Structure 1
Amino acid sequence: MNNKLIFLFLISLLVGSCGPSKNATSKKHSKTRVAVVRKTPESLSEKKAEKPTETLESTSTTKVYADVIMEYIDRYKDISMVEMQRYGIPASITLAQGILESGAGRGTLAKTANNHFGIKCHTGWTGGSVSHDDDEKGECFRKYENPHESFEDHSKFLTTRGRYAFLFEFGKGDYVAWAHGLRKAGYATDKRYPEKLISLIERYDLHSFDKQVLGNSYVAVEKETKVSVHSKENVHIVQKGDTLFSLARRYNVSVEQLMKMNELSGEGINIGQELRIR
């Protein structure tokens, strides 16, 4: 009997020493914890604020991001080049005007009337129309079935109105002359309209589409090409690296004088912008 008890005791010790330890069991069944960081509304708004925005002003004042402008360019570059082939208007000008006038497709007229160029009804217009506040309240603007109709009507508008005829004497890829010429012909009342168009063209390489259409006949734009009521001696075309401070020192005037002569509300200037210096 004693031998049997001793045998059972030894068996129990052996089983206990070979069984899984408490630590091993815990490790086998433990789950890996993954830390999830949830973005608060504050962190999301801060990230959005860091993304560069651009305010496009004309028939609509719209704030857009650069990627929205790039999407607009990708969507309408082909029709702009087709219109250039048909009517001789630089694709860069068509795209820049579309971006500026329509708020890159996000403006009120673009959404409600497919009007991408801010073209008003004018005498003889028999198509659809919408009422929109611009220079005056409740002005009549053209309405189109789709954006492509707006692009085509823009080409016809420029080619059939006598006041724009002189534009077609410029080189087909001379977007600088076209930008200043549009302002001179009265397309827009904004005094900085040419500079805004030129800035969009150069920042987004819109002139590359002119080059695609013209091929070997493309002639690079000379920065001094412009249409101005001022003499060249009294005008400076903003180049890369220019600031109001550097220009004030160069021409021996104060920053305040430059701002006043050019009706600037701030010290920001754009490449291609025409500034009076005297």
Structure 2
Amino acid sequence: MKVILVFIILFIFSIALISKKLFEEPSGVSTSYEQEFINELAENAKLIEVKYSVRPSVMIAQAILESNWGKSELAQKENNYYGIKGENPSSYTTNEFEENEWIEIDAQFRSYNSLFESMEDYAKLLQNGTEWDEDLYQEVIEAPTYEESAQALQTAGYATDPDYPEKVISVIETYELYKYDYDTIEQESKE
């Protein structure tokens, strides 16, 4: 009788473990839409990185964050995947962190013809800076790690969110976007 009872308990325990594994979503696993979006961003990021020296992992993570996986109104209507402000007859509501609180503001954002054009303009902004400070984002470009690049974005004022570096790093690590940086490094070392 004890053998049967032990067998039943082991059987129930095994079923519980198997069902937990079946329904548990592992971290870093993305939906097919997310993976397709990452693949499209990565393809463009590798091309842009060669010309502008912007780290692909950071470029991809920022596009994911700023455009909500390409689903934001700004990305859908204006092909603006980085939340870059500029002249445009249309304005959009955005959240800004000012004086220790989140506020909504209306702002004008740049408009692009394609995802690639948005990514290239973002890379140009980091490489060339702004009208008032052409070296504003140099530390982002020159940082030896994606973590330091993310922190340099915050230091330079790219985003008002005080948690922005952590969010960029989290996206990079969750989706293993750092592998796109290594692809570029490996390619350069082969040449």
TM-score with structure 1 length normalisation?
A: 0.50
Superposition map of 1:25-174 within 5 A: 66-121=31-86, 128=88, 130-134=90-94, 135=96, 136-161=104-129, 162-171=135-144, 174=145
Contact 1:80–1:91 (CA<8 Å) still a contact in 2? yes
Task: Assess, with a 3 A threshold, how the Cα gap between structure 1 residues 145 and 101 changes in structure 2: closer, same or farther.
Answer: same
Distance 2:84 2:184 in 1: 26
Distance 1:116 1:216 in 2: 27
**Unpaired segments of 5 or more residues in structure 2?**
1-22, 97-103, 130-134
Q: Per-residue displacement from partner, 1:7-66 (whole Å, max 9, x unpaired)? A: xxxxxxxxxxxxxxxxxxxxxxxxxxxxxxxxxxxxxxxxxxx897xxxxxxxxxxxx74
**Identical counterparts, % of pairs:** 34
Q: What SS is found at the alignment partner of 1:145?
A: coil
Amino acid at match of 1:184: T
- Which structure dedicates a bigger proportion of its chain to helix? 2
Amino acid at match of 2:163: R
RMSD: 2.1
Q: Which runs of 4+ in 1 moved over 4 A?
A: none
**Unpaired segments of 5 or more residues in structure 1?**
1-49, 53-64, 219-278
**Which one of the candidate residues 174, 185, 188 is aligned to 1:214?**
185
Task: Assess, with a 3 A threshold, how the Cα gap between structure 1 residues 168 and 74 changes in structure 2: closer, same or farther.
Answer: closer
- The structure number with the bigger radius of gyration is 1
Distance 1:51 1:189 in 2: 34
Shift of 1:115: 0.2
Shift of 1:102: 0.4
Higher normalized contact order (CA 8 Å, seq sep 6+, divided by chain length):
2
Distance 1:74 1:216 in 2: 18
Contact 1:129–1:142 (CA<8 Å) still a contact in 2? no
Distance 1:86 1:184 in 2: 24
TM-score with structure 2 length normalisation?
A: 0.72
Contact 1:130–1:143 (CA<8 Å) still a contact in 2? no
